[in-house]
């Protein structure tokens, strides 16, 4: 097995139940050495659960998880030794100084004092927290706390880096900086990161796993996913006519999958989701006029990444897949 193609994270049939509640269902995926993979899904979709199982915090209910070849159940300590982990709530001792905290975490990972010293120098540079080594962690801003969390995760040069929503809860400027930092770190790590923000995976990841209600619903490169999703389009029409009639008429048209209306005073604005290839835009205007309603505007709307994501994880999309 060559080094490049080595599988660093291997997940087979992973299922996790909390009591009777199924949080994650039969996940299958793998991450190769050097890859940067995003786990994308809305809140409550099972990202944290999955990561907690990968990192050995909790056991799977069913399935096999291997980190760098070590089973997280039967060879837990060896598997854990390979991982650098930044949990969703950044785990910091508020009354410790930054350097003290990093030393402690290094020691917990079995590093010797010399190694710890050298590595602290390096990572502190990498995440730019050199000025804060003697600062109590509790006094740092959220963005800087996040950096300390990242420093902790990469300190022992882990084979696999797992970051759970690394930009959640920090201010927008620091989000940009943190993403840049993660991008840098990703250059020489195998990285699995979770997020519920689509642009974040587009910006950082080579491959995306989309998780929804505990199921993997899609897996591809960010570019390809975008392509696939362009299979639908959105049209906005402003009409002066009886709302109920217009709505039911629009819904009855072939290829239309959804209609939302907003009253704008003089007229009503309808936003229509349609399958692409129906050339709706051309025929729609004349059809509306035929009904005797006033057409005040008609335009095509491009979907934002968030909308694409919503659509990907909506039940429509699942039906299409099946």
Partner 1 sequence: MRNTFIIAKKESKAYFSSPMAYVIGAVFLALTGYMFVSSVSNPFPEATIRGWVVTSTFIFVLWSPVLTMRLLAEEQKLGTLELLMTSPVKDYEVVIGKYLATLLILIGTLFPTIWYVILLYWFGNPDLWPLLTSYLGLILFGGATLAIGLLASSLTSNQVLAAVMSFGLLLLLTLTNKAALVTVGLSATILEEISLTAHFDDFARGIVDIGNVTYYLSVIGIFVFSAIRSLESRRWR
Ligand X SMILES: Nc1ncnc2c1ncn2[C@@H]1O[C@H](COP(=O)(O)OP(=O)(O)O)[C@@H](O)[C@H]1O
Residue 10, helix vs strand vs coil: strand
Are 36 and 184 in contact, with CB atoms under 8 Å apart? no
Query: Interacting stretch for ligand X, rule CB under 6 A, among 15-23, 30-38, 201-209, 229-237?
Result: 15-23
Are 152 and 107 in contact, with CB atoms under 8 Å apart? no
With CB under 5 to 8 Å by kind, the binding choice for 80 among partner 1, Mg ion, ligand X, none is partner 1
Query: Interacting stretch for ligand X, rule CB under 6 A, among 36-44, 131-139, 144-152, 167-175?
Result: 36-44
Q: Which helix (H) or strand (E) holds 200?
A: helix 198-204
Neighbours of 77 (CB within 10 A): 9
Q: Cβ of residue 211: shortest distance to Mg ion, in angstroms?
A: 11
Q: Cβ of residue 213: shortest distance to Mg ion, in angstroms?
A: 14
Interacting positions 28-87 with partner 1 (CB under 8 A): 52, 55-59, 77-78, 80-81, 83, 85, 87
Q: Residue 132 to residues 54, 96, 104, 135: CA-CA distances in angstroms?
A: 31, 12, 16, 5
Q: Cβ of residue 11: shortest distance to Mg ion, in angstroms?
A: 17
Query: Interacting stretch for ligand X, rule CB under 6 A, among 2-10, 43-51, 145-153, 305-313?
Result: 43-51
Looking at the chain, how many residues does it have? Answer: 322
Neighbours of 202 (CB within 10 A): 17
Over its C-alpha atoms, the chain yields an Rg (Å, rounded) of 24
**Nearer Cβ to ligand X (48/103):** 48
Candidates 45, 48, 178, 195; binder of Mg ion (CB under 5 A) is 48
Residues in contact with ligand X by the rule CB under 6 A: 18, 21, 23, 41, 43-49
């Amino acid at each position: 097995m060559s080094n490049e193609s080595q599988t660093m994270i291997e997940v087979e049939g992973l299922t996790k139940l909390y009591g009777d509640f199924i949080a994650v269902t039969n996940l299958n995926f793998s991450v190769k050495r050097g890859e940067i993979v995003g786990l994308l899904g809305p809140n409550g979709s099972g990202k944290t659960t999955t990561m907690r199982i990968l990192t050995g915090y909790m056991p799977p209910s069913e399935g096999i998880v291997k980190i760098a070849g070590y089973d997280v159940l039967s060879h837990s300590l060896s598997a854990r030794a390979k991982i650098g982990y930044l949990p969703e709530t950044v785990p910091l001792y508020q009354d410790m100084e930054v350097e003290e905290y990093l030393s402690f975490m290094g020691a917990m990972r079995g590093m010797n004092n010399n190694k710890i010293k050298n590595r602290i120098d390096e990572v502190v540079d990498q995440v730019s927290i050199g000025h804060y080594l003697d600062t109590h962690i509790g006094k740092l801003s959220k963005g800087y706390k996040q950096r300390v969390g990242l420093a902790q995760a990469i300190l022992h040069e882990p084979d696999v880096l797992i970051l759970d929503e690394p930009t959640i809860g920090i201010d927008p400027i620091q989000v940009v900086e943190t993403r840049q930092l993660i991008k840098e770190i990703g250059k020489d790590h195998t990285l699995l990161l979770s997020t519920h923000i689509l642009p974040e995976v587009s910006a950082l990841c080579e491959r995306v796993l989309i998780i929804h209600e505990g199921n993997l619903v899609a897996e591809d490169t960010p570019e390809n996913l975008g392509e696939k999703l362009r299979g639908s389009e959105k049209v906005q029409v402003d009409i002066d006519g009886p709302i109920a009639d217009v709505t039911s008429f629009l819904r009855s048209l072939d290829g239309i999958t959804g209609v939302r209306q907003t009253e704008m005073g003089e007229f009503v604005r309808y936003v229509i989701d349609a399958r692409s290839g129906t050339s709706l835009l051309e025929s729609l205007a004349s059809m509306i006029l035929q009904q005797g309603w006033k057409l005040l505007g008609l335009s095509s709307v491009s979907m934002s990444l968030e909308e694409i994501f919503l659509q990907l994880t909506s039940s429509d999309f699942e039906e299409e897949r099946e």
